[in-house]
Structures are given as structure tokens and as C-alpha cells.
Amino acid sequence: MIITKSEDLRNLTGSFYANNDFSKIENTIKGVETDICRILGMQSLDGLAGDAKLAAQQAVAFMATMRFYRLNDISHENAGRKVKIDKENEARPFEWQLARDDRAHLEEYYRALDRLVFCLMGNENFHQSALYQRIQRVIIGNADELTWLTGIEPSPWLYIQLLPFLLESQQFVEKAYGEEFIPGNLQQLPDTGTADYATKMATALGAIALMGRRTSLQALPYGLMQLAMSNGGGNTETTPSIEQLNAYLKQLSIDQRYWINEMKRLRDLAAGKDPVMHLQMPDNDKHHKFMRV
């Protein structure tokens, strides 16, 4: 394990008591390490060094302590579950306070994972992994390029989560492009008025739409689906409604079709062909009496 004592957890999180019994959280730490290794395609985190090791330790620490706190909010005894509290000096937190604390731990966890993935991209051992080989197949090569195209918060960890959807979206765009599509020929950070730019835009927007349809709200980028909190710091919080999410995903699909249309037009223009209008099918609503043609 990359964390071996309670004092390490105290130094990494600033909240875990250094005199806590480490054996009570040891298995939780092992589980978090296993989860991270499975996603990154690594056998172990023990071989990391420098900034990569520190980022991995911070990620494991924040996730493990959050799980530990959740399990210990109440006491588990032979007679059942109980709440023990010093009524004169302590008070039970409200549910919204617990939820906010969980989010704070999760944000630190994801920030640490961002730093870890960023460090691993320059690691020769990581370059031999199956995950890195899949990254090499995607025309959007890293989180910075994804941010440049879509404007979402730069996050290497989010990029890893989006990877299967990027590959699927790329296959769809490749079919629309035609036989001339060669992934290796596309420029990194291309000019906005080129077919390469339109191709990457269509791929990125399609991937985010696929992720939104198939995963939970919590997996979406913070800037898109973050809980709306009251300015006064109270407990008023709302999650996006299904109607809002569907409207957002529909707009992503419309934008993707636009960029596919632009991709074909710019492709033909670059090849010296006569410009052809690639008309998009209208979005007809079955609830309307008439359809557009």
C-alpha cells in the first residue's frame, strides 16, 4: 500500500486523527487502490514516485476517509445501530452539511486523480498499458484538447472516463467522413476553419452526449451538472431535472449534426470539389400535428 499509517492520512487530508486505529481503515485503503488501478490498467500503485506518488496518495486518502466517515456516522453494536453524542458540547450535523462535506472530499479526490493521470502521461511504464494504447487511437489526444474544443473544465480524469465514448463517437464520425478519413493525418489543435477542427468538434460533442445518456449525473462534468447551492450557504439544493438534461443532450446532438455537416463541406472544399449542401434532417416532434419538410 502507498499509505501505511494514520499519520500519513492526517498529513494528506488535514482531518483524519493521527491517533486513530489504522487497522480500521486499512481494508478501505486497499479497496480504493484496487479501484484506481483497475480503471488505469495498472497492477499496483507501489511503483510510483515523486509527484505521481503524492497525487495517488492524496486520491486514496480523500476517498478512503470519506468512506470511513460514512460508515462511522453511527455506532454499530450488538444491540443494533446507535448514535452516541455529547449533548452538552456536540451537535449532530444536518444532512445537507454531510452532503456538502462528501462533495468537498470528492472534489479533492478528482483533483488528485487529475494530477495523477497528468503525471502518468509522461511515464514510460504507463505507455505500455492497454489504456494508453486506446488513448493513441483517439483523434482528441488529451484533456487540454478536449477543453479547447468544448470549453468544459480541464480534467485528465474526465478524459479517461470519456475515452470509450470518444472512440464510439469517432467511429460514427469516421463513417460520415468517408474513405478519406485517416486519424493520423489530423492536426492537433487545428485552425477553426478546417475540416480537422469540424471533425474533432463532432467527435467531442457526440462523446459527451453519449456519456450523458448512459451514465449517472454524478459522472458528468462538474461545470455541467454541479448541484446548485444557495448563495446564503443554506440547505437549498436542486439537481437538474430530466427535462433539463434531455434539452441539454438534444442541443448537443443538434450541434454535432451541424459540425458533421461542416466537416463534409470543408472536406470537399479542401479537395477542390464543388461545394455540396449536406442538408440535415429536420427534428420532427410526434406531438405536433404537422411535420416540416
132-181 pLDDT per residue, tens: 888 888 889 888 898 888 888 888 888 888 899 999 999 999 888 888 77
Judge whether residue 4 has pLDDT over 60: yes
At residue 91's C-alpha, the angle toward residues 85 and 93, to 5°, is 110
The reply to whether 48 and 169 lie within a common domain is no
The reply to whether 148 and 264 lie within a common domain is yes
Strand, helix or coil for residue 254: helix
Judge whether residue 284 has pLDDT over 90: no
- With 0-12 / 13-18 / 19 or more C-beta atoms within 10 angstroms meaning exposed / middle / buried, residue 133 is exposed
The reply to whether 148 and 287 lie within a common domain is yes
The reply to whether 26 and 104 lie within a common domain is yes
The reply to whether 124 and 260 lie within a common domain is no
Please give the residue that has the higher pLDDT: either 97 or 62: 62
Domain that holds residue 267: 137-293
Percent share of the chain, pLDDT over 90: 19
The reply to whether 123 and 141 lie within a common domain is no
Only one residue has cell 507501489, namely 46
Phi first, then psi: give them for residue 80, nearest 5 degrees.
120, -165
Lowest mean per-residue pLDDT among 128-142, 189-203, 208-222, 269-283: 269-283
The reply to whether 70 and 185 lie within a common domain is no
Cα distance between residue 169 and residue 130, in whole Å: 20
Q: What is the pLDDT of residue 181?
A: 77
The reply to whether 213 and 236 lie within a common domain is yes
The reply to whether 124 and 213 lie within a common domain is no
C-beta neighbour count of 14 within 10 angstroms: 9
Domain boundary among 72, 99, 129: 129
**pTM value > 0.85:** no
The reply to whether 83 and 142 lie within a common domain is no
The reply to whether 142 and 38 lie within a common domain is no
- The domain total for the chain is 2
Domain boundary among 129, 148, 167: 129
Only one residue has cell 469540424, namely 198
The reply to whether 125 and 100 lie within a common domain is yes
Q: Tens digit of pLDDT for each residue in 241-261? A: 677 778 888 888 999 999 999
Domain boundary among 73, 104, 129: 129
Tell me the sheet residues that pair with 77: 80
